Structure 1
Amino acid sequence: MLTLRLQIFQWAKHSSKIIALWVFSACTMANDPRLGVLWPEDVQRQQAVKAAGQGLDEPLSQPPVAISEPKLTTVIAEAPSELEKTVSETLEPITLEEQIQQQVVQSALSQFGYDIFAVTPTTFAPVEGIPVPPDYIIGPGDTFVLQIYGPSDVEYRLVVTREGRLLIPEIGDIQVAGLSFEEAKLTLQQTISKMRIGVKTVITLADLHTIQILMVGDVSRPGMYTVSGLSSLLNTLITTGGIKRTGSLRDIQVRRHNQVIARMDIYNVLLKGVDDDNIYLRQGDVIFVPPIGPTISVAGEVHRPAIYELKTEQTVADIIALTGGLLPTAD
Structure 2
Amino acid sequence: MKRLTFILTLLISGLAVINGQQPISPAIQQQVQSELEKRGVTEAELRERLLTKGVDPDRITPEQLPRFQQIIEETIAELEAEKKAAMPDTPNAAETEAAAGDLPSPPPTENPPANAEPPAASPSNLPDQDPAKDEIYGHHLFENQNIAVFRKSDDVKAPDNYLLGPGDQLVVSIFGASLKNEVLEVSRQGFVEPGDLPRIYVNGLTLAATRELLEKRYGQRYFFSRNEFTVTLNYSRSITVNIVGEVKRSGSYTLPAINTAINALMAADGLTDIASVRQIKLIRSGSPEKIIDLYGYLNDPTIQQDLYMQDNDYLFVPIAQRTVTIRGAVNRPYIFELLPGEQLNALLKWAGGLKNNAALNNIQIRRYANDQQLLIDVNLRELQDQGRDFNLNPGDVIVVPAIPTTAENVVSIQGSVDFPGEYAYEAGLRLNDLLARGRLSLAARRDIAYLLKRNVDGSLRYHLIDLAAILANPSSGANTNIEPGDQLIILSQRAYIDAGEVSVTGAVRDPRSYPYNAATGLRVSDLVVLAGGLTENASSIAYLYRQSPRDDNHIEYIRLNIQEIVRNPSSSQNISLLPNDDLRIYTNDYFKENANVYVAGAVRNPGDYRYDPTLTLTDVLLQAGGLTIAGATNR
Q: Does TM-score exceed 0.5, indicating one fold?
A: yes
- The equivalent residue for 1:112 is 137
For the structure 1 residues 128 and 170, does the alpha-carbon distance in structure 2 shift closer, same or farther, using more than 3 Å as the test?
closer
- The equivalent residue for 2:272 is 244
Amino acid of the structure 2 residue aligned with 1:136: Y
- The equivalent residue for 2:214 is 188
The structural deviation recorded for 1:132 is 2.7
Q: Secondary structure at the match of 1:158?
A: strand
For the structure 1 residues 240 and 126, does the alpha-carbon distance in structure 2 shift closer, same or farther, using more than 3 Å as the test?
farther
- The equivalent residue for 1:43 is none
For the structure 1 residues 199 and 265, does the alpha-carbon distance in structure 2 shift closer, same or farther, using more than 3 Å as the test?
closer
Q: Aligned to 2:123, which of 51, 56, 75?
A: 75
The structural deviation recorded for 1:80 is 9.7
- The equivalent residue for 1:283 is 311
The CA RMSD measured in Å over matched residues stands at 3.3
Superimposed CA distance per residue, residues 240-297 of structure 1 (whole angstroms, 9 cap, x where no aligned partner)? 3111112111111111116543212212333x33653652212221111111112223
- The equivalent residue for 2:300 is 273
- The equivalent residue for 2:247 is 219
Please say if residues 219 and 244 of structure 1, whose CA atoms lie closer than 8 Å, have aligned partners that are also in contact. yes
Q: Secondary structure at the match of 2:235?
A: coil
- Identical counterparts, % of pairs: 26
Q: Aligned to 2:167, which of 141, 154, 171?
A: 141
- The equivalent residue for 2:194 is 168
Q: Which runs of 5+ in 2 are unaligned?
A: 1-121, 359-401, 404-635
Please say if residues 238 and 254 of structure 2, whose CA atoms lie closer than 8 Å, have aligned partners that are also in contact. yes
Cα distance in 2, alignment partners of residues 117 and 170 from structure 1: 47
- The equivalent residue for 2:352 is 324
Amino acid of the structure 2 residue aligned with 1:309: E
Matched, 1:132 2:158: yes
Matched, 1:198 2:223: yes
Please say if residues 313 and 319 of structure 1, whose CA atoms lie closer than 8 Å, have aligned partners that are also in contact. no
Name the structure, 1 or 2, with higher relative contact order (CA <8 Å, separation 6+): 1
Cα distance in 1, alignment partners of residues 239 and 188 from structure 2: 13
Cα distance in 2, alignment partners of residues 183 and 161 from structure 1: 18
For the structure 1 residues 307 and 174, does the alpha-carbon distance in structure 2 shift closer, same or farther, using more than 3 Å as the test?
closer
Cα distance in 2, alignment partners of residues 315 and 184 from structure 1: 43
Q: Aligned to 2:335, which of 288, 307, 312?
A: 307
Amino acid of the structure 1 residue aligned with 2:255: V
Please say if residues 109 and 305 of structure 1, whose CA atoms lie closer than 8 Å, have aligned partners that are also in contact. no
Query: Larger Cα Rg: Structure 1 or Structure 2?
Result: 2
For the structure 1 residues 217 and 79, does the alpha-carbon distance in structure 2 shift closer, same or farther, using more than 3 Å as the test?
farther
Cα distance in 2, alignment partners of residues 183 and 302 from structure 1: 44
Cα distance in 1, alignment partners of residues 311 and 158 from structure 2: 17
For the structure 1 residues 313 and 319, does the alpha-carbon distance in structure 2 shift closer, same or farther, using more than 3 Å as the test?
farther
Q: Count how many residue pairs are aligned between Structure 1 and Structure 2.
A: 232
- The equivalent residue for 1:209 is 237
The structural deviation recorded for 1:118 is 1.6
The structural deviation recorded for 1:223 is 1.0
Cα distance in 2, alignment partners of residues 209 and 275 from structure 1: 22
Amino acid of the structure 2 residue aligned with 1:112: Y
Superimposed CA distance per residue, residues 75-94 of structure 1 (whole angstroms, 9 cap, x where no aligned partner)? 3444799xx9xxxxxxxxxx
For the structure 1 residues 204 and 305, does the alpha-carbon distance in structure 2 shift closer, same or farther, using more than 3 Å as the test?
closer
Cα distance in 2, alignment partners of residues 151 and 326 from structure 1: 61
Cα distance in 1, alignment partners of residues 255 and 211 from structure 2: 24
Moved more, 255-264 or 214-223: 255-264
Q: Secondary structure at the match of 2:199?
A: strand
Amino acid of the structure 2 residue aligned with 1:250: R
Cα distance in 1, alignment partners of residues 286 and 196 from structure 2: 42
- TM-score when normalising by structure 2: 0.33
